[in-house]
Amino acid sequence: MYSFRRFDRSTFLLITLLVISFLLATFDVRAEGSGIGTTMREGAQTLFSPLQRAMSAATRPVVAFIDGISNIAGLRDENERLRAQVAELSAQIRDRAVLETKVADLEALNDLATPGELAAVSARIASPGSSDFDQIRWIEKGTSDGISVGDAVFDDRGLVGRIDFAFEGSARVLLLTDPSFGVGVRDTSTNETGIVEGQTTELSLKMFQAQDPVEEGDLLVTSGSRFPPGIPVGIVKKTATNEAGFALITTVEPLVEVSRLDYVKVIVGWSPLDAGAADEVPIGSAPGLPGFNP
Amino acid sequence: MRRRAIGLAIALVVSTVAIQTSVFGAGRIQPFGASPALVLLVVIGCARYLPADPALLIGFTAGLLLDLLGGSALGLWAMTYTVIAYLAWRARDRADDGPLVIAVGVFLLTVLGQSLFAVAGTLFGQRIISNPVVVKHMLLPAAYNVVLAALVLPLVTRLLGDRRRGWAL
């Protein structure tokens, strides 16, 4: 009899907690970044930030050692890939001087701002989230440094994501690989515009009115609709053409390596209105070109 | 004694959440692209010794902290860990306490926990199931947890359980 009563009570508590969880999830999804969930997240960040910093500092040598061991198998392949990349980049550097002059002339002519000239705040990654499913990073800077929700986040390779929660001393970055992330992009080869969306490990590109095909290897940069124009986003993985009546859809390799982020920069104080004639900007900010100087 | 055990369990969960969110994950310790579900392991350990109500509340709290510090909607990990705590608590009197049973139990509960979260997350619009590496994120943490159980569960036993059992599982 006692056992039955105990079972009954625990089952009741289980159901109560499940209902609370379900309601929390429902309200949090509907709140879309505001409400009690945001307050609770801020409280948890305030409580855990010092603990996380202390833990990271204490375990950094161990983490680096284990990371090195777990990656040792891939080092040879990576070495070969890097050698090939060095050869390719050497050729690009030779062409860069010519392009720098051209782009500087164009920028002077149009009086346009580029990401490298915008105000940006550097921040260290504080936490990679709480599970392998997460497509977020917490950074050690927040609203006190001028960061606000919606700001673009990038590193030396290109777009990392955007701020989706900002608190006084910390902020959460939604990675561009998250399925809920989307950004307007422009193909630097054809000047066609489209939308890139996260697909967890890669990105997908959709173009609805493209006249020209996108080719494998084409560089995509932000178009200026939401973030400053010209930030490199990714490289087209597969050539695709626009079939009549259908959108052009293909896959894109992100330029940033989201699993290896350590420091990022947040563009602060930029509004889509600042882009002015955003459609005229894109050329200046491709990797290796002078417009993008994180 | 009971209050002391609950207090220790809360402290243990908070410390483990701090470790999980700062030491494990992308760019930290993540062998083969997956990390152990250390908090889940501690919740299982606590559920083996605490009474039903505190065990469920510890599971709920641990999950809610992961929700707050992670990228999921609030309540998804809380829901998952509450179920895991309940199952671990229900199973503790029905199964032997041998290492093999515990290893199998930890593996199954971890896979179940990761799967429940993936399904709940997908229902709430996070498209986790469509993740091409979702199976890896279910199985590898379970395998890591089995290995870590040999260290973590004796620690929980030492803190919350029968002190005469020392460092036994």
| CATH number of the domain that residue A280 is part of | 2.40.10.340
Residue A122 lies in a domain: yes
Residue A61 lies in a domain: no
pLDDT > 80? residue A67: no
Residue A26 lies in a domain: no
- Model pLDDT for residues A35-50, shown as the tens digit of each residue: 888 899 999 999 999 8
**Domain boundaries, position A131:** 69-294
Residues 159 to 218 of A: which have CB under 8 A from any B CB? Answer: 172, 174, 178-180, 200-201
Pairwise CA distance, residues A238 & A214, whole Å:
8
Domain ranges within chain B, ordered by starting residue: 2-165
User: Burial letters for A168-194: b for 16+ Cβ neighbours within 10 Å, e otherwise?
Assistant: eebbbbbbbbbbebbbbbbbbeeebbb
The ipTM estimated for the assembled molecules is 0.90
Q: What tokens appear for B34 in the block?
A: 């997956």
Residue A22 lies in a domain: no
- For A245, counting Cβ atoms within 10 Å of its Cβ (0-12 exposed, 13-18 middle, 19+ buried), the class is exposed
Residue A50 lies in a domain: no
A59 touches chain B (CB under 8 A): yes
- Whether residues B117 and A133 touch (CB distance < 8 A) is answered with yes
State residue A290's pLDDT score: 35
B2-165 CATH: 1.10.1760
Positive or negative: CA dihedral B77, B83, B87, B88: positive
Residue A45 lies in a domain: no
A261 touches chain B (CB under 8 A): yes
Average pLDDT over residues A236-244: 81
Residue A290 lies in a domain: yes
Residue A129 lies in a domain: yes
A37 touches chain B (CB under 8 A): yes
Average pLDDT over residues A193-198: 91
Query: CA dihedral in degrees (B116, B35, B165, B12; nearest 10)?
Result: -80
Q: Which residues contact B83 (CB under 8 A, 6 or more apart)?
A: A14, A18, B59, B112, B113, B116
Q: How confident is the model at residue A57 (pLDDT cuts 50, 70, 90)?
A: confident
Nearest CA in chain A to B118: A133
Cross-strand partners of A253: A235
State residue B132's pLDDT score: 80
pLDDT > 50? residue A215: yes
Q: Residue A46 in contact with residue A169, Cβ under 8 Å?
A: yes
